[in-house]
A and B are shown apart, each in its own frame.
Chain A
């Protein structure tokens, strides 16, 4: 079975936040919860770089390891999903996550965190596929429809790639190869530029 992965190409990401808004609009994610976000380093300075980050659907995912109620699980295709009915909002997954992916909407009681929400790779959740409940709790199930996630689908510069790991890797490898063939390769301008 294909292993689904994300890849964000920092050479391509232009910090337009289109992925963020597509995700939120398409999945009706509440304000304040960010399944995906764009991070910019050195904003306004030489070397400014941006990258779009969400749940990476890790192999051996730390969130799954630390969850005290086993609410998080991984599908065969690598997509890591949370069962919101099981989740208690303890936040351990956020502490364990190397990407800051888990998000917590405000809960009902004592300002407690609600059930964790994160990127689903647009693959819905544990409820019945295409059911109203799945859509309500987790958003669209585009993977079941044979589509790519919303974020990658709308990325204007194709910085954000999503899909079968082999295909994604091939696309990226080809790009790196092209860039490496000339002055865009890392270090070349320093090393070989004619003054």
Chain B
């Protein structure tokens, strides 16, 4: 989130696209409804389903799954043709705007209607509402990202906010809700295949930076890899790791994967889940660390699996990062019960056994405080260094002194700090940055410009135009020594820049000069290192509109995508829709969480949602000849199928079928409940919706496309 949940109270309008907050992020709703009630803020919900959030919306916009980018470009088209764009903001803080207009000019409301199914009138109406009610808070969640063009879709969201001038403003921003209390923290630690912690990437310099932080020899780390080049090659992504086991596709490493540790990961959130199960059985070793046995415990036919009972969040402590980038301290409530151990203990045992504890724990004497300190020392890119355990705990102890609207402490021991010191929090004295890219405040008081990361000048491929990438003259945070754009700070300490200067002198110097360590640049509309430099609409890999495939084809196939090849063009078959006529999309239900291992093991939640089902429009169900409550087979083009109960509802339209993805314990019609360890079967088992989610991955992030596949349905 560029802003915070609390800051959404200041929005004058809110637009949600691919987000169902009442089910996925219920606590955010108090701030959203506050804005609705207090500011009369219109709430626009764009979704293929009439969700529970739509029930609270002033406008519900039903969109065909996977066409979000087209709708956003259409909104920009209407806004710019009517002159509603924030001209001053664009002039001073945005680059590549003309190149953006060259793309959006084709996305007229009528063209958008053809692609998305949203009437031209409604697109115009939404654009007008957004233009008249600024600032707008824009929220997206997995509904915006899990597409083969997910990275383009999310960029169009940002572009809309840039065009409207809603970035860096209270009540505006792009506010991506993260799941539980530490999903943002997990992201910041980059539990990813292509990044070191705090988004440092995999370049040699990044490795060396972290080796300095960890105080270990870079050469030793290097020696741990079979080949030095593997060190900088992204690994297998979460979405496709199983291909590395199955070995049916070309792999960009010497051997298939042999062992797997799933730590707090109920993998039935993986698309193509039946292939995950095949991979489980092919692995030589599978270790599942979880408070509850995940489906892996039941799905493995072989005895290659070890279940390590881990403690829940109430049985351990440590720092966590919330969706609003706030770092909080999680205190232990009880000691781990039964024979479970907390994650730190499990990690320690593992590290000891592997024999490098001396290096691993070099800076860590006190768990978990030293963990927070060590990562803060290294994670300079995102300013994790000001949030010391002492400060975090002080914030927790003085909750009552923080203002619910501004999040700032009014008096008391934390006076002036923003709650949780939202990152970046550059120094021990910095209050945290409640709103990113906000140039109305001095940097030392939580203000920031846009980051200068991609050079100072660029000539665009599409137009040949050269543009300065730094912010315009006179546009900077109050008190800035340079009045206008400036580059990122480097060589304050020779041989380092603001990201790698562990002495943090660079940060302090920059802030003392009233300037942001990362420079003051423009937000880019053109991303020259992406396949679509300006995002455009491309049809989902498995599109229900063969006519549109020709006009909006997907990408060329991608080689060496992480450690695999990913099919795009060769997978997009206009004939597919004839056999698989319905769009399948997935999502959450409020009662269950993620893969559901925990919530389906809670009797009360199990009671509330005791069964897997597929949401089907009554008209579709009646046309296909089955009734509400009948069992139906849903089959994917990949040949997998699930047997679920049909639940007739008008939430979905006649072409779309919705599946909640929290269920597990039944695989392609066969119950595995007897295969759970004795006494540990969850109260509720059900088919995994992800068995039938289709092939399809984003070209940049390789996130799975679970929201826009195709399927066929028949009565069981």
Residues of A within 8 A of B (CB): 11-12, 14-18, 20-21, 24-25, 31-32, 43-46, 48-50, 156-158, 175, 178-179, 181-184, 189
Contacts and interface: CB of A to CB of B under 8 A. Distances in A.
Given A20-B608, A44-B50, A14 B26 contact: yes
Given A11-B33, A48-B55, A181 B22 contact: no
| Of listed B22, B591, B604, B650, residue having the most chain A CB within 10 A | B604
B711 to A, nearest CB: 20
Chain A binding surface, main DSSP class: loop
A45 B50 contact: yes
Nearest to B590: A16
Contacts of B527: none
B604 A31 contact: yes
B300 to A, nearest CB: 30
Contact of A156 (B26, B38, B651): B26
Nearest to B60: A46
B40 A183 contact: yes
B33 A25 contact: no
B162 to A, nearest CB: 27
B26 A184 contact: no
Size category of the binding interface on chain B: 20 to 34
A15 to B, nearest CB: 6
B56 interface: yes
| Of listed A12, A15, A16, A44, residue having the most chain B CB within 10 A | A44
Contact of B607 (A14, A31, A50, A156): A31
A46 B56 CA distance: 10
Nearest to B617: A44
A17 to B, nearest CB: 5
Contact of B26 (A18, A20, A43): A18
Nearest to B648: A44
A21 B52 contact: no
Given A11-B37, A48-B52, A158-B30, A17 B608 contact: yes
Contacts of A18: 26
B56 A156 contact: no
A15 B50 contact: no
Nearest to B25: A156
A175 B652 CA distance: 32
A32 B607 contact: yes
Nearest to A37: B608
23 contacts: A11-B37, A12-B30, A15-B590, A16-B23, A16-B26, A21-B604, A21-B605, A24-B604, A25-B604, A32-B607, A44-B649, A44-B651, A45-B650, A48-B54, A48-B55, A156-B30, A157-B26, A157-B29, A158-B30, A175-B37, A182-B40, A184-B36, A184-B37
Contacts of B714: none
Contacts of A14: 22, 26, 29, 52, 55-56
A31 B603 CA distance: 7
B22 A21 contact: no
Nearest to B652: A44
A181 B41 CA distance: 12
Contacts of B230: none
Contacts of B27: 156
Given A14-B22, A31-B604, 18 more contacts: A12-B30, A14-B29, A16-B23, A17-B591, A17-B608, A20-B604, A20-B608, A31-B603, A32-B607, A43-B651, A44-B650, A157-B30, A175-B37, A181-B40, A183-B40, A183-B42, A183-B58, A184-B37
Interface of B: 22-23, 26-27, 29-30, 33, 36-38, 40, 42, 50, 52, 54-56, 58, 60, 590-591, 603-605, 607-608, 649-652
B33 A17 contact: no
Contacts of B30: 12, 156-158
A48 B650 CA distance: 11
Nearest to B42: A183
A156 B32 CA distance: 11
A146 B42 CA distance: 38
A182 to B, nearest CB: 4
A73 to B, nearest CB: 29
Nearest to A25: B604
Contacts of B590: 15-17
Contacts of B33: 11-12, 157
Contacts of A12: 29-30, 33
Contacts of B29: 12, 14, 156-157
Contacts of A175: 37
A49 B55 contact: yes
Contacts of B38: 178
Contacts of A45: 50, 650
A184 B37 CA distance: 7
Nearest to A49: B55
A105 B650 CA distance: 35
B37 A178 contact: yes
Contacts of B649: 43-44
A15 B54 CA distance: 12
Nearest to B651: A44
Contacts of B26: 14, 16, 18, 156-157
Contacts of B52: 14-15, 48, 50
Contacts of A157: 26, 29-30, 33
Given A20-B608, A43-B649, A156-B26, A179 B37 contact: yes
Contact of A15 (B22, B42, B58, B604): B22
B389 to A, nearest CB: 28
Contacts of A46: 50, 60
A32 B52 CA distance: 25
The 10 closest A-B pairs by CB, nearest first: A44-B651, A14-B22, A182-B40, A48-B55, A44-B649, A16-B26, A156-B26, A24-B604, A157-B30, A156-B27
